Amino acid sequence: MDQAAALLDYVLRLADTNLVLGQRLAECCGHAPELELDIALTNISLDLMGQARSLYQYAAELKGEGCTEDDLAYLRTEREFRNPLLVEYPNEDFAYTILRQFLFDVYNQLFYQALQNSSDARLAEIARKSIKEIRYHLRFSAEWCIRLGDGTELSRQKMQTALDDLWDYTAELCTPNATDQTLLSSGIAVDLEQLKVPYFERVEEILTKATLEKPDYEPFQQGGKEGSHTEFLGHLLAELQVLQRTYPGAEW
């Protein structure tokens, strides 16, 4: 893979990750357990969407040929999306929503912390903006993780079920692929191998406080970053892209 193709793939991965998780959280609008949570989840969604726009704008410039941020978000197919599988997992219930967010936020904070030092000036700039927002997300999801895990018998049981299901999808977050390898020596990409130990340490620290038991298997699900997704992503994109697919070129 050449450097330019790898950079585009990398920026799209980051943009897709935010767009897909932002869309998932937006689905909670009007459905969260209480008003404050509704506002919180959609606020986080808004941050992710804003960051996604900065990234898609950059990707569109890299791609050239008159490509726009909207083309990239609305007109790519499922197999072209590069987000890790975790973020496309459905909301299910509030336990799943919070745990998915928590497992992602811990990674996301470590990742963007490191991305601030990227040799790619544009990525570093986006990272310095995003990291301030991500800290709030992590505080929110970690607090709720503890509150529900160390809560009632029912809330704990629901959190444990969600954790057992979602655990598999943590494997991919800190595992580099060919794109990462290509961009590593020039200092553009974050060294994901370096994040692995702190990631699982921080996750375990909060899970312990939440009295949740870490599943006793090695997480293994992979493929999202190469475009092999779960069945859930197609449904998500159908809703996200329906307007542009039905009325190509529609504008506000």
Partner 1 sequence: MAVQIAEVEGYLAQVKDPEIPVLSVLDMGVVRAIRPFEEEGVEIDLTPTYSGCPAMSTISFDIVAELEAQGIHPVKINMVLSPAWTTDWLTEEGRKKLRAYGIAPPEGQAGRIDALFGEAPQPACPRCDSRNTKQLSQFGSTACKALYQCQDCKEPFDYFKCH
Residues forming contacts to partner 1 in the complex (CB under 8 A) are 36-37, 39-40, 43-44, 46-51, 53-54, 124-126, 128-130, 132-133, 135-136, 138-140, 142-143
Looking at the Cβ atoms of 42 and 230, the one nearer to partner 1 is 42
**Cβ nearer to partner 1, comparing 51 with 170:** 51
**Cβ neighbours of residue 172 closer than 8 Å, sequence gap 6 or more:** 84, 85, 86, 221, 222, 223, 224, 225
73 vs 85, beta carbon nearer partner 1: 73
Closer to partner 1 by Cβ: residue 37 or 184:
37
Task: State the nearest-atom distance from the C-beta of 141 to partner 1, in Å.
Answer: 11
Q: Which two tokens stand for residue 94?
A: 């509030």
Task: Report in angstroms how near the CB of residue 167 gets to partner 1 at its nearest.
Answer: 22
Q: CA-based angle 40:45:47, to the nearest 5? A: 95
Query: Closest approach of Cβ 195 to partner 1, in Å?
Result: 17
Sequence-separated (6 or more) residues with CB below 8 Å from residue 68: 60
Closer CB to partner 1, 146 or 192, in the complex:
146
Alpha-carbon distances, residue 207 vs 81, 82, 192, 197 (angstroms): 30, 28, 22, 15
Residue 108: both structure tokens together: 């996301």
Record the tokens describing residue 232, joined without a space: 């859930």
**Residue 81 beta carbon to partner 1: minimum distance, rounded to whole angstroms:** 20
CA–CA gap between residue 7 and residue 56 (Å, rounded): 12
Instruction: Report the nearest approach of partner 1 to the CB of residue 41 (Å).
Output: 8
